[in-house]
Amino acid sequence: MIDASLATLAAALAAKQVSSLELTQAFLARIAALNGTFNAFVTVATEQALAEARAADARIAAGESGPLLGVPIAHKDIFCTQGLPTTCGSKMLANFVSPYDAHVVTQLRRAGAVMLGKCNMDEFAMGSSNETSFFGPVRNPWRQAAVPGGSSGGSAAAVAARMVPAATGTDTGGSIRQPAAFSGISGLKPTYGVCSRYGMVAFASSLDQAGPMARSAEDLATLLGAMAGFDPRDSTSLERPTENYARHFGQSLSGLRIGLPREYFSEGVDPAVASAVREAVRWFESQGARTIEVTLPNTQLSVPCYYVLAPAEASSNLSRFDGVRYGHRARQYDDLAAMYANSRAEGFGAEVKRRILIGTYVLSQGYYDAYYLQAQKLRRLVANDFAQAFTQCDLILGPTAPSTAFDLGSKNGDPVQMYLNDIFTIAVNLAGLPGMSIPCGFDTRGLPIGLQIIGNYFAESQMLAAAHAYQQATDWHQRTPTEVAL
């Protein structure tokens, strides 16, 4: 059952071939055996998980059924969970226990999913490698010396190592798709507003979006179906009808127009990555899809645009962590100003401080017009690039990241090189579009390569159908890291 899909697990539970309690115990045992190596979990909610499993078994015994009822999952530690720590990978919130559930957590709890625990992450979701966490770096299940990607690296590693069948993540500039690519799993960032941000600790509010992480497109569709939904407590939540994200599965790909951005296949992309992505594109062509070269001319400018806007919003959002109401408070201070300064200096890590400083700078008098307003104008140009491209194509395909997973510590001395790793994912967030990553091969070191699929607004079902068709014909998503065999 460790390698089973969500649909297989749900069917086995409904047929009473296995109980939710037995499943939960099996995955908890894997977490106990593997988490010391990969550091994917910050909190393991053993007692709560077992109680939820027993409750799920009671619901199944009463005749209830559902695609997630009794199925174990995990949450990125950025989602508030009532009665459990929500740390955001930071010393600032290391002892914070949330008094309420995030909307996404409530949705999945209502669906009957069993929460095994909270996954490690880059501090306040700021990072591309899961090395900025106060609780230590997460290691890639395919190669322990490599990063799993970030900021949802804990969720990605947990799914890749079969410690959990599926998990939630968040994506501000690629933080679901890039770790999915590095860790050899599937991950989807929905259209902005499809999943509520209520109870999801904010990094950059106009960019943050929750999404599912699992082994296959089929599992992503199941998880997203439970996560999505209107929430009046979130002013950016979209009021849309309930959607079956698997409704296009099985449809022919003949006539599908695939856009290949010229900028995504230029210099700077690892040859192994480019080769694997082009091989995947050829498969789509073999199924009757038609490829069209498109251009996204502002791709190169999306990184500097993002690293003005995201830090600006972060500097505002993180101002609430001042040591007064909750979070870390310094023990030594002489007055209120010193308490603020000392608490924040002690509670935040280096990357968070860097982004707060950048954000405060670009919002300051004399620089607001020169930086922040210019970045907002550029953001519109990035969105316009996609709008123009989608007049010519239905989906856009390309690499998720320019390389496979790099080694731990190899980019810590050069933040710019770290930031450039997200060059193919950031523009999607700036435009508010849906994007996903699925495995499409391996490099010479045996590290996974990700294929990114980008759709127009609310095209999640079309993207998932294309990904599912590809995964029905390939087995990249079914490969298991040799280092996690037990």
Domain containing 114: what range? 6-252
pLDDT in tens, 380-397: 999 999 999 999 999 999
Q: Determine, yes or no, domain membership for 130.
A: yes
Helices (H) and strands (E) in the chain, counts: 15, 11
Catalytic residue chosen out of the listed positions 76, 118, 189, 411? 76
Q: What is the CATH number of the domain that holds 216?
A: 3.90.1300.10
Q: Is residue 196 within 8 Å of residue 160, measured between CB atoms?
A: no
| pLDDT tens-place string over residues 214-228 | 999 999 999 999 999
Residue 138 lies in a domain: yes
pLDDT band at 442 (very low <50, low <70, confident <90, very high): very high
CB atoms within 10 A of CB 303: 17
d(CA 319, CA 312) in angstroms, rounded, equals 11
Long-range contacts from 27-31, C-beta under 8 angstroms, 24+ separation: 27/2, 27/72, 27/116, 27/163, 27/164, 27/165, 28/116, 30/2, 30/161, 30/162, 30/163, 30/486, 31/116, 31/117, 31/158, 31/163, 31/164
The reply to whether 161 falls in a domain is: yes
How confident is the prediction for the chain on average, in pLDDT? 96
Residue 417 has pLDDT above 90, yes or no: no
Q: Is 170 a member of any domain?
A: yes
Name the residue with higher pLDDT: 196 or 268.
Answer: 196
Catalytic residue chosen out of the listed positions 151, 152, 196, 216 = 151
Whether residue 378 is contained in a domain is answered as no
To the nearest whole percent, how much of the chain has pLDDT over 70?
Answer: 100
CB 471 within 8 A of CB 217: yes
- Give the Cβ contact number of residue 179 at 10 Å: 39
What is the predicted pLDDT for the residue at 351?
96
- pLDDT of 482 > 90? The answer is no
Closest to 121 in 3D by CA, of 102, 105, 136: 136
3-state percent breakdown (helix, strand, coil) of the chain, nearest 5: 40, 15, 45
Confidence of residue 427 (pLDDT cuts 50, 70, 90): very high
Residue-wise pLDDT for 114-130, tens only, equals 999 999 999 999 999 99
398 occurs within a structural domain: no
Residue 316 annotated as catalytic: no
Q: In the chain, pLDDT over 90 holds for what percent of residues?
A: 95
151 classed as catalytic: yes
Closest CA to 68 of 23, 28, 114, 102: 114
Predicted pLDDT of residue 423: 94
Q: Give yes or no: 411 in active site.
A: no
pLDDT (average), residues 419-445? 96
Question: Is the pLDDT at 486 greater than 70, yes or no?
Answer: no
Q: Into how many domains does the chain fold?
A: 1
Mean pLDDT of 9-15: 96
Structure token digits, residue 475: 């087995």
* Cβ atoms of residues 199 and 79 within 8 Å: yes
**Domain assignment present for 387:** no
> Stretch 447-464: mean pLDDT, rounded?
98
* Backbone angles phi and psi of 6, in degrees to 5: -60, -40
Q: Is 117 helix (H, G, I), strand (E, B) or coil?
A: strand
Whether 484 has a pLDDT exceeding 80, the answer reads no
102-114 residue pLDDT tens: 999 999 999 999 9
| Residue 464 CB partners (closer than 8 Å, separation 6+) | 188, 217, 220, 221, 245, 246, 248, 249, 436
Per-residue pLDDT tens over the stretch 299-350: 999 999 999 999 999 999 999 999 999 999 999 999 999 999 999 999 999 9
Is 293 strand, coil or helix? strand
Asked whether residue 73 is assigned to any structural domain, the reply reads yes
The pLDDT of residue 483? 73
What distance in Å separates the CA atoms of residue 454 and residue 458, rounded to the nearest whole number?
11
Per-residue pLDDT tens digits for 54-77: 999 999 999 999 999 999 999 999
Please tell me the predicted confidence (pLDDT) of residue 485: 67
Q: Which of 20, 128, 133, 175 is catalytic?
A: 175
